[in-house]
Structure 1
């Protein structure tokens, strides 16, 4: 089988020396990191365990060992969504964002051939978010921004957020949309439904809000990638098209929703080759990017494993999904990246 450059677009990282704003500001709503051993920790919120994580979440050397074992050449690093902290005072939210962006940038600078970084911004205050976007991209060298699927209950089509999307479009900064503070979370405490049902539903709502808003008519070059295969969006598109057709009074777009869905990007994290085939039929192979959700329990290992199990995909299409689509989305066309790509392809040939 032909070896492709493999980029895992969807991974999360946190500093082992994570900023403790709960203690600094006397507010236990801030996420904090409580080490349990050298091999792991708990993310704590309001004095309760929110999530267990392993040292894979912060240890770059361990990450690279996993990458080598799984045939992954490059990881794209982004913050853990619970740390978005959009609920916070904007200046304090900026403090959290700057800490995380500095940490991610330091990791990518130490290992530039293995890691690419995405920033976070305090979207509760658009001016500060744009300011931090500029710092993260222009000063730190991060390649895009990860944002949440809503901002304190406001969908992404809220008019208060449009200046942020305008700025991202103007600067050609790609945005990775990840679910957080999920729709209906008060009904999902059992069965871990927040992760299995809430997040896919939340992602579909976020993508649907963008699609129906007219934003992509105004900013057709805006780059947006949605996590977890767009959640339930691929299966809802025919219903959205029907609604757009029968309710003309709700229309804010020139064309039906399915047209705009094909302008978006989606990661490949749907676990099943039939689901991935349906995504490709819905959006096109050029819009799908391999991503695993490393290092969490629901991750795919290795990233993009199902891509090679879809019989209809050509080698060229597999190469796009494994790496070239991520390269295009993240504007990785500079000479340094080309050198990195060649080195990783040589690494692949030796495996």
Structure 2
């Protein structure tokens, strides 16, 4: 089964309800997005998403596109604009519960081809385990999608320890996909908010996990990083140097590069050299097919991208099929 682990879903009715419940907060968030992305990019993104609504909402359109790409199975996660990291607790937990329900309903329309990932209210750590259980045990989803941070909650936050422990215990997927970038106006032109911002957020979030020792304390975690882990895998030597010479960077047990082989990375890196480098530093068993379906910054032909990257045949097949299958086969079932 050729498996794409990075494919998105839009929930328009749920978003409309969020707008109805918190119009002022939604307006404030829209102003922040305007500042972070710039009007030109927001307008272009709006037109792009609008043209792809069927693929983002309709199972039949999704399956037809998968057939065209030669993809047998998708992991389906919501578009990160549904994270609502600004939401107060009551709204945030409702969003998590409703998202988990709607994702489960979507993938249930084609259970042999679609696997769902839910969400948790990351900005409210005391409620996260509850909604991780809701996603995995209550809804039968394979895991959850999280952002690189939410409000004042970084992935190194001690308040997340129960979440990491429970995710390891369940053997579920934690799919790391940033929502925006915290660099704000510095990236508001030329679509830098995505081209530079997304790889930056991935690198920062993974560094928080590594340097804080989260992977030491919870070795059973299955963290899958979108966008090939961003900048971190290709500049990991700088992290190793810091661990060697800086005491404040030595909070993890081993050199940071060793932890790349305890994580998983998708193939949304856009050039074959980077994909080969990712396989070299992380290991052939730690790279999984991803497309960022159906957005314009994704891979139009994800299977061909991997097959044409100049990798050994066995490595190619592992990336396309076996690595993702192994991740979901060992999780706790609902």
1:78 Cα deviation from its structure 2 partner = 0.2
Tell me what 1:51 maps to: 46
Matching of residues 226-305 of structure 1 within 5 Å: 226-305=225-304
1:154 Cα deviation from its structure 2 partner = 3.2
1:249 Cα deviation from its structure 2 partner = 4.2
Cα displacement string for residues 50-102 of structure 1 (whole angstroms, at most 9, x for unaligned residues): 73412211111111111111111111100111211122111201111222211
1:9 corresponds to 2:8: no
1:319 Cα deviation from its structure 2 partner = 1.7
CA contact (8 A) 1:90 1:125 kept: yes
Length, aligned pairs only? 316
Taking the aligned partners of 1:193 and 1:249, their CA distance within structure 2 comes to 31
Q: 1:171 to 1:17 in 2, by over 3 A?
A: same
Higher helix share: 2
Q: 1:137 to 1:294 in 2, by over 3 A?
A: same
Tell me what 1:180 maps to: 179
Unpaired runs of at least 5, structure 1: 33-47, 336-351
Cα displacement string for residues 163-194 of structure 1 (whole angstroms, at most 9, x for unaligned residues): 21122112222200001241312211110111
**Match for residue 20 of structure 2 among 19, 23, 32:** 23
SS of structure 2 residue aligned to 1:296: coil
Taking the aligned partners of 2:248 and 2:103, their CA distance within structure 1 comes to 45
**Match for residue 323 of structure 1 among 321, 324, 334:** 321
1:146 Cα deviation from its structure 2 partner = 0.3
CA contact (8 A) 2:170 2:331 kept: no
Q: Which moved more, 1:324-333 or 1:54-63?
A: 324-333
Taking the aligned partners of 1:210 and 1:326, their CA distance within structure 2 comes to 21
How much is the aligned-residue C-alpha RMSD, in angstroms?
2.2
Taking the aligned partners of 1:293 and 1:299, their CA distance within structure 2 comes to 4
Taking the aligned partners of 1:71 and 1:324, their CA distance within structure 2 comes to 16
SS of structure 1 residue aligned to 2:168: helix
Unpaired runs of at least 5, structure 2: 30-41
SS of structure 1 residue aligned to 2:176: strand
Give the TM-score normalised by structure 2. Answer: 0.89
CA contact (8 A) 2:125 2:160 kept: yes
SS of structure 1 residue aligned to 2:24: coil
Taking the aligned partners of 2:160 and 2:217, their CA distance within structure 1 comes to 14
Q: 1:174 to 1:333 in 2, by over 3 A?
A: closer
Q: Which moved more, 1:133-142 or 1:302-311?
A: 302-311
Taking the aligned partners of 1:333 and 1:168, their CA distance within structure 2 comes to 10
1:195 Cα deviation from its structure 2 partner = 0.7
Tell me what 2:33 maps to: none
CA contact (8 A) 1:117 1:142 kept: yes
